[in-house]
């Protein structure tokens, strides 16, 4: 018998809320303080990447080298600025379709988890009133391996007590889709289909996905790469 949809696992930044802009503001502020500019285009490469890996990329762009202790201080500085920005977030910053999809899943008995690399996930979920919508939260504080490692999603499935093949992952980062594939889960890419071509299906935003579409992923044999635009 085919597996059925039992759980949805959501990435946070860029899927439920548009925090990418705040990450960018804080990284750019750090770059300018260090004496170089950091463009929005360069920032694209940081999506889904952990804080320390992001710092490594930023410093490489600026041609700067620091020892470990100095790098930790820089990452901390960036995070303090980022926290100032997200502290002011409200439910108005939830991306289109996210709140209604979470509610609908709950009403249909489909479990929900957060699977994020961010160590600030709970603050963001609390400030946007999304915290109570999740059965399980796995974030940057609970994992040792960053996406594309599947650890974050496998931990979430384990805590939800469902099998990987009964889950759908929602992700806007290429590394996140790769993690879902490695976990043996179905995946919905949010954003650019060319960039997210490992996903089962790619949509512009959560508002463009229905539970029927999700259920159909479980009845399609083989790779079902498809774009809905």
Instruction: With contacts defined by CB under 6 A, name the span among 61-69, 111-119, 153-161, 183-191 that binds ligand BG6.
Output: 111-119
Q: Annotated catalytic sites, by residue?
A: 11, 13
Q: Considering the rule CB under 6 A, would residue 48 count as an interface residue with ligand BG6? A: yes
User: Minimum Å distance from CB 116 to ligand BG6?
Assistant: 5
Closer to ligand BG6 at the Cβ: 5 or 146?
A: 146
Options 5, 8, 9, 12; binder of ligand BG6; rule CB under 6 A: 12
Q: Kindly provide the b/e burial profile for residues 175-186, where b requires at least 16 CB atoms within 10 angstroms of the residue's own CB.
A: bbbbbbbbbebb
- Per DSSP (E only), the strands in the chain are 7-10, 111-115, 136-138, 167-171, 186-190, 201-203, 226-227
Instruction: With contacts defined by CB under 5 A, name the span among 14-22, 91-99, 106-114, 220-228 that binds Mg ion.
Output: 14-22
Q: Considering the rule CB under 6 A, would residue 116 count as an interface residue with ligand BG6? A: yes
User: Minimum Å distance from CB 163 to Mg ion?
Assistant: 24
The Cα 131–Cα 114 span in angstroms is 10
The Cα 128–Cα 229 span in angstroms is 28
- Using CB under 6 A as the criterion, what x/- string covers residues 122-161 for binding ligand BG6? ------------------x---------------------
DSSP symbols for 102-163: HHHHHHTT-EEEEE-S-TTHHHHHHHTT-GGG-SEEE-TTT-SS-TTSTHHHHHHHHHHT--
Q: Considering the rule CB under 6 A, would residue 79 count as an interface residue with ligand BG6? A: yes
Q: Which does 49 bind (CB under 5 to 8 A by kind): Mg ion, ligand BG6, none?
A: ligand BG6
**Of 155, 159, 147, 97, whose CA–CA distance to 118 is shortest?**
147
For Mg ion, the binding residues (CB under 5 A) are 11, 13-14, 172-173
């Amino acid at each position: 018998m085919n597996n059925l949809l039992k759980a949805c696992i959501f990435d946070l930044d860029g899927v439920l809320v548009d925090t990418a802009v705040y990450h960018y503001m804080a990284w750019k502020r750090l770059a300018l303080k260090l004496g170089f500019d950091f463009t929005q285009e360069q920032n694209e490469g940081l999506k889904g990447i952990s804080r320390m890996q992001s710092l490594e990329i930023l410093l490489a762009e600026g041609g700067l080298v620091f020892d470990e202790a100095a790098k930790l201080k820089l990452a901390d500085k960036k995070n303090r600025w980022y926290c100032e920005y997200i502290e002011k977030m409200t439910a108005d910053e939830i991306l289109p379709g996210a709140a209604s999809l979470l509610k609908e899943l709950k009403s249909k008995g489909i479990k929900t988890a957060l699977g994020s690399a961010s160590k600030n996930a709970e603050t963001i979920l609390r400030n946007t009133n999304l915290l109570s919508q999740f059965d399980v939260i796995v974030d940057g504080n609970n994992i040792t391996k960053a996406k594309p490692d599947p650890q974050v999603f496998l931990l979430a499935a384990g805590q939800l007590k469902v099998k990987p093949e009964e889950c759908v992952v929602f992700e806007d980062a290429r590394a996140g889709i790769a993690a879902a594939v490695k976990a043996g889960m179905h995946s919905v890419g949010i954003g650019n289909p060319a960039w997210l071509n490992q996903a089962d299906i790619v949509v512009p935003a959560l508002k463009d996905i229905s539970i029927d579409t999700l259920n159909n992923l479980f009845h399609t044999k083989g790779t079902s790469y498809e774009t809905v635009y």
